[in-house]
């Protein structure tokens, strides 16, 4: 299949979960033998119009991030390229209308990747068009899908495709020393680590150890809170850590606690569950984390620090595991197949118009 992917801001400009996910989709499609071209602002040195990396062709639309010029030029690039499907990120949001026009000129359907972290202007006409023009809008969670539907997208034109992980990588990493509780999130205001610390403080008379993965502007405040609660001798702040170190920690942990107040998709929770952790998720109105554990036996959903403490205690009823095969369905290859299903569906429907 000939796929045109549109994102003015690649991870070279915008290193966000949504940008990284879009880049990963492009590379997985190329790995599967598909012809993939990303139309973007130039991020490479030199004067070449195109750059190929890992089987993906990057084609320059503008020399740098320039929303108006990018949106003006994009339709002509797509018309000349003649793809089977256009897959676009709403960055900038007006580029979706440009991608729609380009798809019309190329006689192919438009799919929009809406992760949730794009920072789109609420209720603007461009945002509403980005939700309603595509043949399909893909989101990582039902929470984000609901937001898109509130902008006018229909039930049949929205689909949830979750984030993915490299499941096979898990067993290549040795488990770290056993601990009771793990947590991972950038240590900013949205991390809500205080909920975890208060829950752990309820268990100070019990024997446990916890590791907190992540770094950020609130780290010192969280460390100070742990000291104030007199549990700092059992809570280890280990910093950001690379992926292998995180997997090692998760494989050695019994419970993973999720407390962040805003998550479009709880990727670290997914990794931890695949590493065999029992999931304890504090419900947050602006987090999709609870969606991951719906119907999963080795998990608890809580609404307070006391409930969290109880869940951590009750998790002792579950055996320790350092890998959980049930989560293999979230492997990169399996999730890439779900994108191919979307492409096939919209291409078939377009041909029937």
pLDDT digits (tens, 9 = 90+) for 286-333: 999 999 999 999 999 999 999 999 999 999 999 999 999 999 999 999
Report the pLDDT averaged over residues 50-78. Answer: 94
Q: What is the pLDDT of residue 164?
A: 97
Quote the CA–CA distance of 4 and 77 in Å, as a whole number.
10
Q: What is the pLDDT of residue 46?
A: 85
> What is the secondary structure of 286-320 as a DSSP string?
EE-HHHHHTT-SSEEEESSHHHHHHHHHHGGGSPP
Domains and CATH numbers, the chain: 2-164+331-351 (3.40.50.2000), 167-329 (3.40.50.2000)
Report the pLDDT averaged over residues 339-343. Answer: 97
Q: What is the pLDDT of residue 106?
A: 94
pLDDT, tens digit (0-9, with 9 covering 90-100), for 215-259: 999 999 999 999 999 999 999 999 999 999 999 999 999 999 999
Quote the CA–CA distance of 4 and 219 in Å, as a whole number.
41
Q: Above 60 in pLDDT, residue 54?
A: yes
| pTM exceeds cut of 0.85 | yes
pLDDT, tens digit (0-9, with 9 covering 90-100), for 186-205: 999 999 999 999 999 999 89
Q: Above 90 in pLDDT, residue 181?
A: yes
Q: How many CA atoms lie within 13 A of 101 on its CB side?
A: 12
Q: What is the pLDDT of residue 353?
A: 53
Please choose, from the candidates 13, 26, 3, the residue with its C-alpha nearest in 3D space to the C-alpha of residue 332. Answer: 26
pLDDT, tens digit (0-9, with 9 covering 90-100), for 153-174: 999 999 999 999 999 999 999 9
pLDDT, tens digit (0-9, with 9 covering 90-100), for 85-100: 999 999 999 999 999 9
If you average pLDDT over every residue of the chain, what do you get? 95
pLDDT-above-90 percentage for the chain: 92
pLDDT, tens digit (0-9, with 9 covering 90-100), for 111-140: 999 999 988 877 788 899 999 999 999 999
pLDDT-derived band at 145 (thresholds 50, 70, 90) equals: very high
Q: What is the pLDDT of residue 351?
A: 74
pLDDT, tens digit (0-9, with 9 covering 90-100), for 260-292: 999 999 999 999 999 999 999 999 999 999 999
How far is Cα of residue 255 from the mean position of the Cα atoms in its chain? Answer: 21
Beta-strand relationship, 56-62 and 50-53: antiparallel
In the chain, beta strands by DSSP E: 2-6, 35-41, 50-53, 56-62, 85-88, 110-113, 136-139, 158-160, 179-184, 210-213, 235-239, 253-258, 262-263, 278-282, 286-287, 299-302
Q: What is the pLDDT of residue 309?
A: 96
Q: Above 90 in pLDDT, residue 81?
A: yes
């Amino acid at each position: 299949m000939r796929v045109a992917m549109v994102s003015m801001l690649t991870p070279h400009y915008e290193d966000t979960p949504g940008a990284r996910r879009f880049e990963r989709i492009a590379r997985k499609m190329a790995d599967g033998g598909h012809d993939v071209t990303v139309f973007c602002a130039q991020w490479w040195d030199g004067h070449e119009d195109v750059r190929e990396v890992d089987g993906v062709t990057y084609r320059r639309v503008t020399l740098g991030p320039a929303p108006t010029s990018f949106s003006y030029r994009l339709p002509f690039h797509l018309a000349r390229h003649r793809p089977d499907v256009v897959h676009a990120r709403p960055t900038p949001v007006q580029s979706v209308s440009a991608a729609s026009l380009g798809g019309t000129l190329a006689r192919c359907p438009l799919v929009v990747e809406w992760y949730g972290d794009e920072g789109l202007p609420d209720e603007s006409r461009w945002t509403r068009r980005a939700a309603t023009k595509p043949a399909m809008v893909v989101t990582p969670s039902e929470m984000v899908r609901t937001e898109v539907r509130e902008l006018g997208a229909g039930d049949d034109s929205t689909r949830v495709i979750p984030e993915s992980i490299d499941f096979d990588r898990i067993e290549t990493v040795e488990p770290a020393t056993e601990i009771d509780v793990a947590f991972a999130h950038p240590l900013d205001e949205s991390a809500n680590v205080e909920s975890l610390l208060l829950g752990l403080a309820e268990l100070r008379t019990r024997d446990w150890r916890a590791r907190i993965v992540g770094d950020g502007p609130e780290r010192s405040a969280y460390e100070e809170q742990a000291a104030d609660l007199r549990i700092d001798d059992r809570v280890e702040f280990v910093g950001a850590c690379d992926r292998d170190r995180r997997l090692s920690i998760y494989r050695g942990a019994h419970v993973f606690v999720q407390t962040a107040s805003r998550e479009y998709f709880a990727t670290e929770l997914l990794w931890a569950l695949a590493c065999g952790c029992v999931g304890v998720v504090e419900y947050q109105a602006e987090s999709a984390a609870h969606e991951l554990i719906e119907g999963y036996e080795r998990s608890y959903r809580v609404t307070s620090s006391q409930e969290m403490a109880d869940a951590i205690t009750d998790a002792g009823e579950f055996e320790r595991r350092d890998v959980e095969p049930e989560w293999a369905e979230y492997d990169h290859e399996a999730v890439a197949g779900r994108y191919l299903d979307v492409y096939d569906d919209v291409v078939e429907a377009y041909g029937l118009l």
